[in-house]
């Protein structure tokens, strides 16, 4: 894109100096403003403004009524004092880390196979991978709810074919169920960026490694894997970020032991309980998401690329 800009600049300078503005009728900056304004307005009104109000709400004593103008640090104090919030926050982070780790572990070989052994069928494989990622999230969670339940498909299937005599309990409504379901949901999202990173590795590099006498596994450790780290990072973010704030999956398959911080936030707002507390907890999620994001950006800057680098 930089080349394009340069091309356009030089064309403007050599061919018709100054005429660009006249031809357009509107000065160049005017055009630019009109092109960017709608996106900017949307971002300001539906992203920045809501976030500012969220921060302000977190410092209020109450969301409605006369107390809403009273400045208060109550929800922050409550957040640090009440161990239930911290436990839930830690559990959410733990679940997110577990899910991210296993999702990447399962996705990496998948991406590797598509990138290096996919051959002609690569785009077909890619489509097969993408379709579930973009289709009904709820249905895919629902599938696991129906499969894992004590009178669910898995148990009745196993009973029916005679593999077990008693239905297995404890699968459903547990943290494990949340982790399994989310791994299942996110696999395409993690496999895709890893695939893209592997795809961009110059075949010449691997040839050079093997010419210089390295065995395939050495070449993998020294060349392929380091070059795929940007993809792994992107995959990690794509999984970790939505998982920290997840509340639908825990509500559907998690049971009381699988609840996450998102469920508490949802309760605060949808039941009209303590909105300032909910706002504080939402900001806690944002901070939790921001840390890996900044770290990843740092690493990406050092290694020179994160997915979108040129």
Partner 1 sequence: MIEQKRSLPGTLYFIVMMVFLYLPVLVLIVFSFNNSVILAFPFKGFTLEWYKQLLGARELLLAARNSIIVGISSSLVATLIGALAAVAVTRHHMPARNFFLGAASVPLVMPSIVLGVAMLVLFRRVFDLQLNLWLITAAHVLISIPSTILIVMARLADFSHNLEEAAMDLGANYWMTLLKVTLPISLPALIAAFLTAFTTSFDEYAMTTLITGTDTTLPVYLYSLLRFPRRLPVAVAMGSIIMVISAILVITAEKLRSIGTNRVQKENKI
Q: Rounded distance, CA 147 to CA 169, Å?
A: 12
- Per CB under 8 A, the segment of 4-12, 74-82, 170-178, 221-229 that binds partner 1 is 4-12
Q: Taking CB under 8 A as the rule, does residue 156 contact partner 1?
A: yes
Q: Rounded distance, CA 196 to CA 307, Å?
A: 8
Q: Taking CB under 8 A as the rule, does residue 138 contact partner 1?
A: yes
The least distance separating partner 1 from the CB of residue 276, rounded to whole angstroms, comes to 10
Q: Taking CB under 8 A as the rule, does residue 295 contact partner 1?
A: no
Q: Which of 137, 135, 169, 173 is nearest to 154 (CA)?
A: 169
Q: Rule CB under 8 A: which of 159-188 touch partner 1?
A: 159-160, 184, 187-188
Per-residue interface string for the shown chain with partner 1, residues 261-290, x marking contact by CB under 8 A: -x--xx--xx----x--xx--x--xx--x-
| Residue appearing with tokens 């009273």 | 70
- Per CB under 8 A, the segment of 36-44, 74-82, 168-176, 221-229 that binds partner 1 is 36-44
Q: Taking CB under 8 A as the rule, does residue 258 contact partner 1?
A: no
The least distance separating partner 1 from the CB of residue 175, rounded to whole angstroms, comes to 19
* Cβ-count burial 76-90 (b if 16+ within 10 Å, e if not): bebbeeeeebeebbe
Q: Kindly state the number of chain residues that form the binding site for partner 1, as judged by CB under 8 A.
A: 112
Tell me the three state secondary structure of residue 82. coil
The only residue of 97, 98, 146, 168 in contact with partner 1, by rule CB under 8 A: 146
The least distance separating partner 1 from the CB of residue 91, rounded to whole angstroms, comes to 16
Q: Taking CB under 8 A as the rule, does residue 307 contact partner 1?
A: yes
Q: Rule CB under 8 A: which of 193-212 touch partner 1?
A: 193, 196, 199-200, 203, 206-207, 210
Q: Rule CB under 8 A: which of 70-99 touch partner 1?
A: none
Any idea of the CA torsion for 46, 48, 54, 58, to the nearest 10 degrees? 180
Instruction: List all residues 6 or more positions away from 63 whose beta carbon is below 8 Å from its beta carbon.
Output: 57, 275, 276
CA distances from 235 to 75, 187, 292, 293 (A): 33, 9, 12, 12
The only residue of 127, 165, 212, 304 in contact with partner 1, by rule CB under 8 A: 127
Q: Are the CB atoms for 63 and 276 separated by under 8 Å?
A: yes
Q: Are the CB atoms for 193 and 186 separated by under 8 Å?
A: no
Q: Taking CB under 8 A as the rule, does residue 220 contact partner 1?
A: no
- Per CB under 8 A, the segment of 30-38, 69-77, 79-87, 171-179 that binds partner 1 is 30-38
């Amino acid at each position: 894109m930089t080349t394009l800009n340069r091309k356009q600049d030089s064309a403007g300078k050599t061919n018709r100096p100054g005429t660009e503005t006249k031809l357009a009728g509107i000065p160049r900056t005017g055009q630019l403003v009109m092109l960017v304004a709608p996106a900017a307005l949307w971002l300001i009104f539906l992203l920045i403004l809501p976030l500012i109000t969220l921060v302000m709400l977190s410092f209020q004593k109450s969301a409605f009524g006369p107390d809403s103008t009273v400045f208060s640090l109550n929800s922050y104090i409550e957040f640090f004092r009440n161990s239930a919030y911290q436990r839930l926050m830690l559990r959410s982070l733990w679940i997110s880390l577990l899910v991210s780790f296993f999702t990447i572990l399962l996705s990496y070989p998948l991406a590797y196979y598509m990138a290096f052994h996919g051959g002609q069928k690569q785009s077909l494989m890619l489509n097969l991978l993408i379709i579930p990622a973009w289709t009904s999230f709820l249905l895919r969670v629902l599938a696991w709810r129906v499969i894992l339940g004590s009178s669910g498909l898995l148990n009745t299937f196993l009973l029916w074919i005679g593999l077990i005599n008693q239905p297995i309990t404890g699968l459903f409504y547990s943290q494990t169920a949340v982790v399994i379901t989310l791994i299942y949901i996110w696999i395409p999202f993690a496999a895709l960026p890893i695939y893209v990173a592997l795809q961009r590795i110059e075949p010449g590099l691997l040839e050079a490694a093997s010419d210089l006498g390295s065995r395939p596994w050495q070449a993998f450790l020294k060349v392929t894997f380091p070059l795929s780290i940007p993809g792994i990072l992107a995959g990690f973010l794509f999984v970790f970020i939505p998982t920290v704030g997840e509340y639908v999956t825990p509500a559907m398959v998690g049971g009381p032991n699988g609840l996450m911080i998102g469920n508490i936030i949802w309760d605060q707002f949808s039941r009209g309980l303590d909105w300032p507390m909910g706002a504080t907890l939402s900001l806690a999620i944002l901070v939790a998401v921001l840390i890996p994001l900044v770290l990843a950006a740092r690493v990406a800057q050092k290694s020179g690329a994160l997915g979108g680098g040129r």
